[in-house]
């Protein structure tokens, strides 16, 4: 069972049809919507400030979602995928965004809807990413405009797949197989 822990008198709240890996950690002032999944060794740590997530958000293996004490909360919209080993810290991410594997999103960043942050990208503090952008590099810069085909093939596909993947584990639990 996931480690779901209160901190500073606040307990995580989550919607319907969510799935949390046995070694995931969810702490404190965390609120998430429906069909969210927190994967193996991922940490969502709302101890120092709030973390808000919409519906159909997946936090993949080893990713860390955190905030900054008395300075920067973290907000993720609907249909957001945070890739393996990514770090998302004290920022705002709107709807339909893919945060690539191993990328870093620092305090004060604002990523508008329908964007991809490429694997390994580093968004420096306060970076503003306009809607329909693809950012890559260190420090991350806009490399192109997100096409409808790339949106459907990556952003939408990955979010939908993670709802499906979490369903496999929910089925295992229903049948008693471990």
| Residues, the chain | 178
Rounded to two decimals, the pTM is 0.95
The β-bridge partners of 65 are 44, 88
Is residue 61 within 8 A of residue 82, CB to CB? The reply is: no
Q: Which domains does the chain have, with CATH numbers?
A: 3-175 (2.160.10.10)
For 114, which DSSP code?
Answer: S
Q: What is the largest CA-CA distance in the chain?
A: 48
Question: Nearest-5° angle of CA 97, CA 142, CA 131?
Answer: 40
- pLDDT tens for 149-177 read 999 999 999 999 999 999 999 887 766 65
pLDDT at position 44 is 98
Question: Cα dist. 153→38, 85, 104, 149, 175 in Å?
Answer: 22, 22, 23, 6, 32
Is residue 27 within 8 A of residue 50, CB to CB? The reply is: no
Provide mean pLDDT across the span 8-16. Answer: 97
Give burial (CB, 10 Å; 0-12/13-18/19+) of 62: middle
pLDDT at position 17 is 97
Is residue 67 within 8 A of residue 46, CB to CB? The reply is: yes
């Amino acid at each position: 069972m996931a480690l779901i822990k209160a901190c500073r008198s606040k307990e995580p709240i989550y919607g319907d049809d969510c799935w949390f890996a046995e070694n995931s950690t969810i702490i404190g002032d965390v609120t998430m919507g429906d069909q969210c999944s927190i994967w193996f060794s991922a940490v969502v740590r709302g101890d120092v400030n709030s973390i808000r997530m919409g519906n159909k958000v997946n936090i993949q293996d080893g990713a860390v979602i955190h905030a900054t004490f008395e300075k920067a909360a973290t907000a993720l919209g609907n249909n957001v995928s945070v890739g393996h080993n990514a770090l998302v810290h004290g920022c705002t991410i709107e709807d339909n965004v893919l945060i690539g594997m191993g990328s870093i999103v620092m305090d004060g960043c604002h990523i508008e809807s329908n964007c991809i942050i490429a694997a390994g990208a580093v968004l420096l503090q306060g970076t503003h990413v306009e809607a329909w952008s693809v950012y890559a590099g260190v420090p991350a810069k806009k490399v192109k405009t997100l096409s409808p085909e790339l949106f459907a093939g990556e952003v939408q596909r990955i979010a939908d797949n993670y709802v499906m993947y979490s369903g496999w584990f929910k089925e295992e639990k229903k049948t008693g197989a471990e």
